[in-house]
Structure 1
Amino acid sequence: MDRKNVLYIAVSLDGMIAREDGSVDWLDEFEGEGDNGYSEFYQTVDTVILGRSTYEHIKILTPVFPYQDKTCYVFTETPDSYHDKHVTFIDEDIKAFTGRLKQQKGLNIWIAGGAELVNTFMKEDAIDEYIITVIPVVLGSGIPLFHEQNTETKLRLTDMKRFGQAAQLHYKRA
């Protein structure tokens, strides 16, 4: 199996991944189904890539780092200022770094967020698949998943799943 860089993320109906303050409390308030496909997806990856802000937010939200059973990388401009036995902090070219990862044997690579990291990956044309779960809430403002400066990216819908009131859309680059 060829490894792929997969964006797996939830968004509000108006395209936000978090409130202005980074809060994702709205994710807990909708009528989903089970874990909304998370466990199934999680088994398809062995590597997790996070941006620094998302990593810091996770550390605040959870007492135990949630991806201890995966190889985890955090992109940051100051990798030497962080220490976590479960994470490797890096400041490298995304395309070159993930190109090396994809040459290694293993499962898929999860681009877990946040928005800055996703948009950097998009600029480098380094996302192979997009699995986006749309949550039925309009936040009105917040942190958008996609920036206005992104280049046009054509995708092909390969699957759709319903989890209660959420719709999960699975796209591959066209």
Structure 2
Amino acid sequence: MRELVYYIAVSIDGHIAAPDGAFDRFLMEGDHAPQLTEEFADAIPGVLLDAMGVRAPLTRFDTVIMGWDTYTLDPSNPNPYPHLRQIVASSREREVHEGIEVTSDPVARVRESKAEDGAGIYLCGGGGLAGTLIEEIDRLVLKRNPLAFGDGTPLFGHAPYRPVRFDPVGVRVFGSGVVVEEYVRAPEEAA
């Protein structure tokens, strides 16, 4: 069965974006960047892959799910992950680039995707969608940046209180100050 992986940059106080949705304060350069770029190339938008002259290996992910705000982050790029099957979660009917799927039921859609053969499913964002999907997330890969935002978009949006346990399986500390924390859903939490 495929995993739903929430791979995301986060501040030390648990925010994935500033109050206005910006995420440009996260460290893009440093000793963490080359390793994560190689390890998670499938999670890099197509425009950046092209600029770097890199091809996504499609070994880690072959599908991405994202919320509407994440999908429309760059209006000039209506096809952000052309190398992946793209699913956009929205409560309303929306127009998207040809070949991109819109779902109003991301939980059911993720469950269907997890039952299919293939590589992992990349949960790209945002926090509200992650909160909706928290019980479907199998793995968290948090790129914890050495910044405190104070306010902004929480890692799991404003999901209702329901503790879900994840067990730590790895921590990597980089000279840049970025700490990559990896967790898997605790066995008793698995659906």
TM over 0.5: yes
- Work out the CA distance in 1 between the residues paired with 2:159 and 2:116: 33
TM-score (norm 2): 0.79
Higher relative contact order (CA 8 A, sep 6+): 1
- Work out the CA distance in 2 between the residues paired with 1:16 and 1:161: 20
User: Paired residue for 2:160?
Assistant: 149
Query: Does the 8 Å CA contact 2:6/2:141 hold for their aligned counterparts?
Result: yes
- Work out the CA distance in 2 between the residues paired with 1:77 and 1:113: 15
- Work out the CA distance in 1 between the residues paired with 2:89 and 2:65: 8
Distance 1:144 1:152, change over 3 A: same
**3-state SS, counterpart of residue 71 of structure 2:** helix
- Measured after TM superposition, the shift of residue 36 of structure 1 is 5.0
**3-state SS, counterpart of residue 169 of structure 1:** strand
User: Paired residue for 2:49?
Assistant: none
- Unpaired segments ≥5 residues, structure 1: none
- Unpaired segments ≥5 residues, structure 2: 43-58, 187-191
User: Paired residue for 2:69?
Assistant: 53
Name the stretch that deviates more: 3-12 or 158-167.
158-167
- Work out the CA distance in 2 between the residues paired with 1:86 and 1:33: 33
Partner of residue 114 from structure 1, selected from 126, 147, 150? 126
- Measured after TM superposition, the shift of residue 32 of structure 1 is 4.5
Query: Does the 8 Å CA contact 2:78/2:96 hold for their aligned counterparts?
Result: no
- Measured after TM superposition, the shift of residue 119 of structure 1 is 0.4
**3-state SS, counterpart of residue 66 of structure 1:** coil
Cα shift readout 1:49-89 (whole Å, capped 9, x = no counterpart): 000111111x24x647331000000001123x312125211
Matches within 5 A, 1:91-102: 91-92=104-105, 94-102=106-114
Higher strand share: 1
The one-letter code of the counterpart of 1:66 is P
Matches within 5 A, 1:27-38: 27-28=26-27, 31-35=30-34, 37-38=36-37
% of aligned pairs identical? Answer: 28
**3-state SS, counterpart of residue 159 of structure 1:** strand
- Work out the CA distance in 2 between the residues paired with 1:101 and 1:148: 23
- Measured after TM superposition, the shift of residue 162 of structure 1 is 2.6
